[in-house]
Chains A and B, each alone.
Chain A
Amino acid sequence: MANLAVVGQSVYRKDANPKVTGKALHVGNIEMPGMLQVAVLRSPYAHARITRIDKSKAAGLEGVALVMTGVDVAKMPGVDPYYGPAFRDQPILAVDKVCYVGDPVVAVAARDQRTAEDALQLVEVDYEPLPAVFDVLEAVRPESPLVHERHRPAKAFADLAHVKAGQQSNICYHFKLRTGDVDKAFADADRVFEDTFSSPPAQHMPMEPHVTLVYLDEQERLNVWTASQSPSYVRTELSNTFSIPMHHIRVRVPYIGGGYGAKLYAKLEPLVTALALITKKPVRYALTREEEFLTITKHKVITKIKTAIKNGSITARKCEVFWDTGAYAEIGPRIGHKSGYTAAGPYRIPNVWIDSYCVYTNHVPAGAFRGFGVPQVIWAYDSQMDIIARAIGEDPVEFRLKPALEEGESFATGTLVRSFGIKEAIRQAARAIEWSKPRPVQTGTKLRGKGIAAGVKAVLTPSISGAIVIMNADGTANVLSSTVEMGQGSETTMGQIVAEELGIAFDQVHIVQPDTDVTPYDTITAGSRSTYHMGNAVRMAAVKIKAKLFEVVAAKLEAHPDDLVAGGGRIFVRGMAERGMTISEIFLAKFGSLGTTLAAEAVCQPTAGHMDPETGQSEKCTEYWFPSATAAEVEVDTETGQVKVLQLFSVGDTGTAINPRHCEQQLLGAAIMHLGLTLFEEMIFDEGQLVNGSLLDYQVASIKDMPESFRPIVVEVPHETGPFGAKGAGETGALTVAPAIANAIQDATGVRIRGLPITPEKVLRALAEKKGEALPQD
């Protein structure tokens, strides 16, 4: 881009040094006098009524400050014992019944962790088991046991305002999209393809598990230090839950050790707040890794997808998507909606029918997970794209390129797409993997194959980011923003944007960490939205400051503000660097003193058009899109079923890259994460009981699992209203990894895997089936 000083440069991350040297503050490092530690007793039943709790022995243990039950919470003045971003369905502690194995039942706060855990072993709870439901397809049937008797919408977010109080069903949210005449197209089709795909519940696995510290300050204000991706939301939720006015709640978030969606909305904060309000002591609760498994998961999803082909083109697609949201809806309805409407893919399809159901079961609650449900729907539609292409004898790359939407064409929702580099992403992926190079004939037991996958995610719309920029008289600036730095590099990106706009050096910008006493509202740090939304907010705030500076300079130098530019820590007349003033000179001129500041606020608030609840049609369903493509080459050991990923190229249209290295890191990091999810990650449940709930048995990808050749490719299709043309990159690399690998496996062996993860046993079974061997059931 022309004439930019620091935007577009791969400057080093602001948080690198403090993290590498171990100096970065995390919630787990904060010590407070008299601080209590927490342990939580969890339900051993998937669904049961609590008939008795005896906490007397535990309460009598030396060092125990409080043993708290759900009934105790419900008795607190002004409290709503239930919370949640879509429905207020999740109790702070189980009140009358438990809804999954791991549901918190009793909390102990004690002087140290061991005493708290010792006390738990003294609590007695009696349960009366209730019928439970674990299979999402069973849970949607009317005769299935109900997880919740009634649904209470939360009304916390504008985009969820349409969520309804359904009743007598486990379906807590149903999204519908209808365009064209699907039945007719299927009747007229040359061929119809029908497949069912599944992907399992999985863990986010941030290095830092959830941790929250709450204390009352000298004014009895609620102070919350928490590892959260949504400080603004946490404040609102605590205000609503405990009837505390917002100015009496202060939520602060230091660096957090990864989030990936696990740390969105409220998690430990309501519980720790209740403990702190009752004990009037600082209280910290830090989850163990084992508890992390019982707190939040990636949605298990079953997708039934049916596609009509006429004259080699796709004429209709029908998708039924079932989201197992577990015992509490969490953000499942938003995922069912936002991912649901993309379930037919980034393709030109005249007739589309989508039903997306968010369904309660007696499993661990499922929530946001890097990609917000989109990887699960792409797993279905893009695996099927490949199945169809190979079945009708089309080249898989060409078969995608042909119907891939062009700039200005209509998405299935009726929204016209903009800044939509899907074709470019597919082409780059194909080029990187040398798609058109002829494949050698293979023999033996190690077969190689190549696969391409493509897909798109839409950014959450509407959402809001506010920022304040404060310029100091020495030419430095402070930025107040509630975007959480969790490793994604937003601090650095925001610093680059502000430095660029104010014409100062990157290291002259300080980003203030989220603190609801001072940093303005931000919807969430998630969904690849910060660079665009917060980036625009900080940029607009900086522009306002610049205008104020220009005003002073224009008056002083008798120049027109339009002729002024900022650069090198000065404001000067374009083309005449010597005719200008330093920032300090401007402050002196304006205030007659150098201790002063100039502040400006700005809010970025993209809006969405109304979406018809019956047809899913909307003039504008989203502010922008993230096109993604992945190319993979695999080697399949046909004797063991083991899949080795030899090459992986992660391609994403990020808009203009504010920091190219960061974009590359995001594409790679997301791909690594999804490599494990594709090949072996899965939370395995037996009647609601998690079987592999620790890192001894649940595996994530390690350095030894990395492909031999692994490269990110950044496609930059600028967005007209993005800051300097930027969109975002946090999830793009996650979207298309799984189908790319499955497609490569089919290319190598001819077998198709429809259920994630693609374990060696699944591949071997498929190979044996292909050979016509009789197989025992597993």
Chain B
Amino acid sequence: MTIRSFDLLQPRSLAEASDLLLKHRDEARPIAGGTTLVILMKQRAVHYPYLVDLQSIPGLNRIAKEVDGIRIGALVTHRTVELSRLVRNSFPVVAEAFSTIGNVRVRETASVGGNLAHADYRLDPPPALLLLKSEVTLFGPGGSRVIPLKDFFTGMYETALEAGEILVDVKIPNMPTGSKAVYLRHSALSANDWPCLGVAALVSKENGRVRELRLALSGLAATPVSVDGLEFVRDCSFDDSVLDRILGIVDEQIAPFYDLRGSEWYKRRMARVFVRRAIAQLESQA
């Protein structure tokens, strides 16, 4: 398997990169770690005469602490997130999500931006990032804009990125005080496989009383799902009736479809099982 010849363009700035993408339009594509793009090009499923190498732009591979959270540059590798002290201490659920991806060789090479921009429907990181209400910065011909990650995913392999736009970083706001979060993934084939589904859950409590529940899921619809309508979970305990209501809401908001890792029936069942397990795990840690 070989790649058809292409030009590797190496911009020194985001502005230059954006210009190149705009100039070559459908003939150009950004490349970060290349773990996904190179496979597709080798299979000759896609071809771009121009690849715009984001690695040549300085400053995109940093994790920065900010007062209200952290900012992860688009070119930070999965492995760096997984091992970062900052992420592990303050956002263990994010480190956990990145640590489950594929294998260590992929994680050493693949980038945070590449993962999100590829917008596969069963990625590991989105649920954890959605749970924490992350935002992404996009840079394009019109300058920078910041949008919630929730709005970034628009369809299967489709994102809000417009022509000439580049994902610059992900901002993760601090975890709510008194909160705990967990990410569970279920692989239906080998232990190394892509997830059949992933479930992230966050519970925050005040004086032992539940203040908030958040849930986000992947693998269960064309895009990752951030579950809405959980506001009623407040000042209550997770008894059977509350859980049933939560599971009912989840069931309404997902739209799973058959793939190699399970039928719709199976995925709906697993959504229930893993949402329950995630909540139970958070409760048992409390």
Contacts and interface: CB of A to CB of B under 8 A. Distances in A.
B265 A290 contact: no
Nearest to B102: A696
Contact of B191 (A290, A697, A702): A702
B193 interface: yes
Contact of A705 (B2, B190, B258): B190
Nearest to B258: A778
Contacts of A705: 190-192
Interface stretch (A114-122, A647-655, A656-664): A114-122
A764 B266 contact: yes
Nearest to B1: A288
Contacts of A188: none
A699 B189 contact: yes
A761 B190 contact: no
A701 interface: yes
Interface string A215-235: 000000000000000000000
B273 interface: yes
A775 B265 contact: yes
B273 A704 contact: no
Contacts of B84: none
A761 B260 contact: no
B4 A697 contact: no
Contact of A699 (B3, B39, B193): B193
A680 B192 CA distance: 12
A759 B188 contact: yes
Contact of A700 (B39, B44, B190, B270): B190
A778 B189 contact: no
A684 B260 contact: yes
B13 interface: no
Given A114-B5, A691-B260, A778-B258, A759 B189 contact: yes
Interface string B43-68: 11000000000000000000000000
A701 B191 CA distance: 8
B189 A680 contact: yes
B190 A760 contact: no
A775 B266 CA distance: 10
Counting chain B CB atoms within 10 Å of each CB, the highest count among A117, A290, A639, A761 belongs to A761
Nearest to B193: A699
Most chain A beta-carbon neighbours within 10 Å: one of B186, B189, B263: B189
Interface in A690-744: 691-692, 694, 696-697, 699-702, 704-705
B92 interface: no
B25 interface: no
A121 B44 contact: yes
B190 A702 contact: yes
Interface string B263-285: 11110011001000000000000
B1 A640 contact: no
Given A117-B44, A761-B263, A761-B266, A699 B4 contact: no
B190 A697 contact: no
Nearest to B5: A114
A690 to B, nearest CB: 12
Contact of B192 (A697, A704, A760, A765): A704
Given A117-B44, A290-B43, A697-B260, A639 B192 contact: no
Given A691-B260, A764-B269, A114 B188 contact: no
Given A290-B43, A704-B190, A117 B260 contact: no
Nearest to A37: B2
Interface in A437-457: none
A694 B44 CA distance: 14
B191 A117 contact: no
A701 B190 contact: yes
Contacts of A697: 260
B262 interface: yes
A704 B188 CA distance: 13
A575 interface: no
A104 interface: no
B188 A760 contact: yes
A118 B258 CA distance: 35
Contacts of A776: 263-265
Contacts of B5: 114
Contact of A114 (B3, B191, B269): B3
Closest A-B pairs by Cβ, 9 of them: A704-B191, A699-B190, A114-B2, A680-B189, A699-B189, A761-B266, A778-B263, A639-B273, A288-B1
11 contacts: A118-B4, A290-B43, A642-B186, A680-B189, A680-B193, A696-B39, A696-B194, A699-B192, A699-B193, A704-B190, A761-B262
Interface of A: 113-114, 117-118, 121, 288, 290, 639-642, 676, 679-680, 684, 691-692, 694, 696-697, 699-702, 704-705, 759-761, 764-765, 775-776, 778
Given A679-B189, A760-B262, A776-B263, 13 more contacts: A114-B4, A121-B44, A640-B186, A642-B186, A642-B188, A684-B260, A699-B189, A699-B193, A700-B190, A705-B192, A759-B189, A760-B266, A778-B258
